[in-house]
């Protein structure tokens, strides 16, 4: 069926429009141009640092904040092209873009810390949307990206969390204000609440998956809910560092 559709509607690069094969969404040239997160970067939030740094370091923004996750790392650094693809996925409902974005996210799994988590088969958990937003959008972009990562890396994925509080816009809030704004915004889904208490404590850890990491307030609130449920370790994987 897919090959038949490709014959009727030949696939093209979503950025430059050139012809493609093998079900990709980006041509090699466009994909290679996208800026990857590369060392040096903050060991906690993954913020890129342009300059010379000797050894692992934490950025100034993370020194005064105690996150509930161990570390967060995005695959791509800030760029208008990747942000365009994410916006088209989220607001243009171009769900087919999740495949390309998910595969881009997998690039960060070569990091030494993620390599350990892959061997230990940590559980992938997508950051949930509030029900009102999910009804409007009809899908959760974080879940669509997580499905691709799960397939590529042979990791389990489960929708463990739900968003129980619709928060106000965070655009103009500081990092600490965002963390405060999202307190108690997430909790376990009812189906997980009814499971034996040891259910989540038996997993080695959880990798939270989202499309963009900006200040870390959303994933930190999710990580707090997971830790409250007994998860001992949490890491964060995103496509873009906003």
Query: Pick from 198, 206, 196: which is nearest to 232 by CA?
Result: 206
Is the per-residue pLDDT at 5 higher than 60? no
State pLDDT tens for residues 177-225: 776 778 789 999 987 776 655 567 778 999 999 999 998 999 999 999 9
pTM strictly above 0.75: yes
Give a yes or no: residue 20 inside a domain. Answer: no
Q: Please report how many Cα atoms fall inside a 13 Å half-sphere around the Cα of residue 39, on the Cβ side.
A: 9
Task: Identify the three-state secondary structure at position 167.
Answer: coil
Give a yes or no: residue 65 inside a domain. Answer: yes
CA quadruple 82, 88, 89, 95: dihedral, nearest 10: -120
> Could you tell me the CATH number of the domain that includes residue 72?
3.40.50
The DSSP secondary structure of 55-78, one letter per residue, reads S-B--HHHHT---SSSEEEEEE-S
Give a yes or no: residue 8 inside a domain. Answer: no
Q: How does DSSP classify residue 48?
A: B
Tokens 């997160």 belong to residue: 37
Q: Using CA atoms, how far apart are residues 180 and 172, in angstroms rounded to an integer?
A: 14
Query: Pick from 237, 212, 224, 234: which is nearest to 188 by CA?
Result: 224
Give a yes or no: residue 205 inside a domain. Answer: yes
Give a yes or no: residue 49 inside a domain. Answer: yes
State pLDDT tens for residues 130-180: 999 999 999 999 999 999 999 999 999 999 999 998 876 655 666 667 767
Give a yes or no: residue 201 inside a domain. Answer: yes
Domain count, the chain: 1
The parent domain of residue 56 ranges over 25-241
Give a yes or no: residue 229 inside a domain. Answer: yes
Q: Using CA atoms, how far apart are residues 75 and 77, in angstroms rounded to an integer?
A: 7
β-pair type (206-213, 186-188): unpaired
Give a yes or no: residue 11 inside a domain. Answer: no
Q: Using CA atoms, how far apart are residues 127 and 109, in angstroms rounded to an integer?
A: 18
């Amino acid at each position: 069926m897919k090959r038949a559709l490709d014959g009727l509607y030949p696939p093209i690069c979503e950025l430059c429009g050139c012809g493609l094969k093998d079900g990709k969404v980006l041509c090699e040239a466009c994909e290679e141009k996208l800026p990857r997160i590369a060392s040096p970067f903050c060991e906690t939030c993954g913020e890129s640092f342009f300059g010379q740094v000797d050894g692992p370091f934490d950025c100034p923004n993370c020194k005064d904040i105690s996150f509930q996750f161990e570390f967060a790392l995005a695959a791509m650094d800030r760029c208008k092209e990747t942000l365009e693809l994410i916006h088209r996925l989220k607001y243009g409902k171009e769900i087919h873009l999740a495949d390309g974005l998910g595969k881009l996210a997998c690039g960060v799994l070569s990091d030494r810390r993620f390599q350990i988590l892959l061997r230990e088969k940590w559980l992938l958990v997508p950051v949930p949307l509030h029900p009102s937003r999910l009804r409007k959008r009809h899908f959760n972009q974080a879940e669509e990206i997580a499905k691709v990562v799960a397939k590529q890396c042979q990791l389990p994925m489960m929708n463990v969390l739900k968003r129980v509080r619709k928060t106000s816009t965070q655009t103009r809030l500081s990092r600490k204000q965002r963390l405060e704004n999202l307190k108690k915004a997430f909790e376990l889904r009812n189906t997980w609440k009814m499971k034996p208490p040891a259910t989540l404590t038996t997993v080695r850890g959880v990798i939270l998956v989202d499309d963009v990491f900006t200040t870390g307030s959303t994933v930190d609130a999710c990580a707090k809910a997971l830790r409250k449920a007994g998860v001992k370790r949490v890491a964060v994987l995103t496509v873009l560092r906003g």
